[in-house]
Amino acid sequence: MNANEIIDILETMYPDAHCELIYHNSFELAIAVMLSAQTTDNAVNRVTPALFARFDSVEAFANATVDEIARYIKSIGLYRNKANNIQKLAQKLLLEYDGKIPDNMEDLTSLPGLGRKSANVILSECFQVPSIAVDTHVERIAKRLRLAYKNDSVLTVERKLQKKIERSRWIKAHHLMIFFGRYKCKAINPDCTDCPFQGFCRKDVLKNK
């Protein structure tokens, strides 16, 4: 079974797969993605409404202290470091990008707290640039379904998926693989009942992710 056939099946399983982070603009998404590192989207969605209500612009975040920002995200893992990155992100946007989130990988990854995965999420969600963001779910599914090797780096997984999946499907494929990994093919105790990929799945791969 090739990559596009796998995506076909996942589309029948999760026709409404989408980004589950709640945001209203590219700046809010950048913050939400940053907050989502090593925590769940649900946990992020619980703190962002109050956070965005208190700091309603790039300027508001840039002028806030780290302590003020941290107060709103204390339930999130690594909240102190993330608060620091949020403040620095806002300040750099004002200094170098006229307060706007850039629309290319090089500039996005130069911003505090944003790596390649986060940049791919922003590019695909806000600018409709074909991208595949490889988080722990996408990495695990790619390796379990033999689209990448067990020891491949995250960047190698991304490159392989880009080669194997039609470019027009990259954005949707990313969401489909996340939904499959989040709700069925979990890292520990995956639900293999009625799974269409049982015949060739490497379910022992990445049990710790």
Q: Would you call 133 exposed, middle or buried from its count of C-beta atoms within 10 A (0-12, 13-18, 19+)?
A: buried
| Residue 138 near residue 177, CB atoms below 8 Å | yes
Q: Which domain holds residue 81?
A: 26-127
In this prediction the pTM is 0.92
Measured CA to CA, the distance from residue 38 to residue 76 in angstroms comes to: 9
Total domains in the chain come to 1
In a domain, 182, yes or no: no
In a domain, 95, yes or no: yes
In a domain, 168, yes or no: no
Regions of the chain where pLDDT drops below 50:
208-209
CATH number, domain with residue 112: 1.10.340.30
What residue spans of the chain are helical by DSSP H?
3-13, 26-35, 41-54, 58-63, 66-70, 79-96, 105-108, 116-127, 136-144, 154-164, 170-183
- 123-155: pLDDT as tens digits: 999 999 999 999 999 999 999 999 999 999 999
In a domain, 203, yes or no: no
> Annotated catalytic residue: which of 74, 88, 135, 143?
135
Active site residue 117: yes
In a domain, 61, yes or no: yes
> Annotated catalytic residue: which of 117, 143, 160, 184?
117
> pLDDT value at position 203?
78
> pLDDT value at position 206?
60
In a domain, 91, yes or no: yes
Could you give the 3-state DSSP secondary structure of residue 176?
A: helix
Token digits of residue 185: 């093919």
In a domain, 147, yes or no: no
In a domain, 53, yes or no: yes
